[in-house]
Chains A and B, each alone.
Chain A
Amino acid sequence: MTAVSASGIAELPPPPVRRWTRERIAGHVLTGLWALAGAGLVLYLVFAWNPELFARWAPAYLRGLGVTLLLVAISVVAGAILSIPVCYGRMSRNPVLSALAFCYVYFFRGTPLLAQTFLIYYGLGEFRPQLQEIGLWWFFREAFYCAVFAFTLNTAAYQAEILRGAIQSVPRGQWEGAASLGLHRLQTLGKIILPQALIVALRPYGNEIILMIKGSAIVAIITVPDLMGQTRLAYSRSFDFQTYLWAALIYLAVVETLRHATDWIERRITRHLVR
């Protein structure tokens, strides 16, 4: 029975008392530490503010960011194109094709991107005469092109797996239904399967782009002047630690923007699934 007060209105139970449990204290202390670290970072950047340094390196950082984004954009698009035949090979019933595609994917996913980049940039230098003969040396001479090449091969392997997983996540019945309506296999793929598969693939694709942006920092080691390259240059000239902190803030901003953009797109294209 509900307790009824003198006025005849049921009283709400009092709100639960929030005690200072150990968890709550730990939470406040840790959040406080993060806030302190954040404030410390801002204070450090304000006190260490050096107009000369900023004027000298800000344009370089912007150019570096441009190089990073360009590198990732080219590689991701080229990788997406290359991933289609690889994915086809992975899903093919032909044992030779499928073994080839499996080895390709296994090699590029099983070894560090840095090692692959070194193998292409420094390693192919060993074949300079042969490359000059077939007229490809101009391509493999440039660190930027080599980085694009390595990143494209790498991301194609990852994207092929994403695509395969997404296509296989669509139930068989969808293929059969389309076939019973008399649709051609390619029509089925384009009109029935891919629209459903790409919803599944969106988040992994977003993650892959973020991983590429983070991974692209390594091209600084093979002398590509990307954001990380400019940062290393700035640090080696000025020995000012804030150069690294600026780069960290820029990378964080880019990655967070992309993450939220992926979330937004996902919410938008799954509107019809929300009940």
Chain B
Amino acid sequence: MQSAWTLLSWGPEGWLDDIASGVLVTVSLAALTLPLGLLMGFAVALAKKSDEPSLRLAGNVYTTIFRGLPELLTLFLVYFGVQIGLQTLVRLFVPDATVEVNSFVSGMVALGVVFSSYASEVFLSAFRAIPRGQYEGGYSVGLSKAQTMRLVVMPQLIRIALPGLANLWLILLKDTALISVIGLSDILRQASIASRVTKHPFLFFGVATLAFLVLAIVSSVAIGRIERSVGRGEARR
């Protein structure tokens, strides 16, 4: 029987290096999903705040669907659905081709879609918090629509939306755990492998859970810093 410290050491004897590589996968997946989700969420929010009813409808359908589905199911729908869809498409040209969709990319797309549907709500309420006068002021000094958005609205929007987005980032970090189900070697999957090999499931799942907790704490500290630096320019009201 090996002691817990040997099991948790770095190198071929221990499993710490494997868990560390899992942490790397989790962090890079979350970090790559974030910009994708933010961009899509912003676009959907623009659609939902538009004056055009059909555009609003399209945005609302998007949010309703992807906020209503379980994240795990969305992941499977993307992973298997895209695979089957692409395979059918490719087989029109090459009869016996097999298509394998990368699980990392599927995870990114699925988590990005879920993230963006929540982010669009955060952006939307931030948009509503910005008075009309800000746009009108921008137009009256001769800025174009895009310039007003970029120079007048965006700086305020980011400040208002930041707490909500920070929350979504923490949720995203936790949701990446689901990716272990489609075979990506993230923290949780490495911990399952380790616990199956060593028969110490409590130890390894405990370490995995703590690793997620550490990521959450580190993120909270970083978010606090960002919030302070963004809020620095804010005028007293």
Q: Which residues of B contact A114 (CB under 8 A)?
A: 177-178, 180, 188
Interface string of B22-61 (1 = CB under 8 A from A): 0000000000000000000000000100111111111001
With a cutoff of 8 Å between Cβ atoms, the chain B residues found around residue A28 in the complex are 54
Name the distance in Å between B59's Cβ and chain A's nearest Cβ.
Answer: 8
Q: Is the CB of B70 within 8 A of A118?
A: no
By secondary structure, the B interface counts as: helix
- A208-259 residues at the B interface, CB under 8 angstroms: 213-218, 220-221, 228, 231-232, 235, 241, 244-245, 247-248, 251-252, 255-256, 259
Segment 91-145 of A: residues with Cβ below 8 Å from B: 106-107, 110-116, 118-119, 122-127
Q: Which of A115, A122, A241, A259 has the most CB of B within 10 A?
A: A115
- A274–B182 alpha-carbon span in the complex (Å): 49
Pairwise interchain contact A111-B174, C-beta atoms closer than 8 A = yes
Q: Are B69 and A123 in contact (CB under 8 A)?
A: no
Q: Chain A interface: which size bin?
A: 35 or more
A245: chain B residues within 8 A (beta carbon):
77
Query: Which of B58, B65, B80, B187 is packed against the most chain A CB atoms within 10 Å?
Result: B58
Known contacts A111-B216, A118-B192; A220/B174 CB under 8 A: no
Q: B123 at interface (Cβ–Cβ under 8 A)?
A: no
Given contacts A112-B174, A244-B80, A255-B68, contact A31 B57 (CB under 8 A): yes
A193 to chain B, nearest CB (A): 26
Give 11 A-B pairs besides A27-B50, A126-B200, A213-B70 with Cβ atoms closer than 8 angstroms.
A27-B52, A31-B54, A110-B174, A114-B180, A115-B187, A123-B195, A218-B72, A228-B72, A241-B81, A248-B73, A256-B64
Residues on A facing B (Cβ under 8 Å):
21, 23-24, 26-28, 30-31, 33-34, 106-107, 110-116, 118-119, 122-127, 213-218, 220-221, 228, 231-232, 235, 241, 244-245, 247-248, 251-252, 255-256, 259
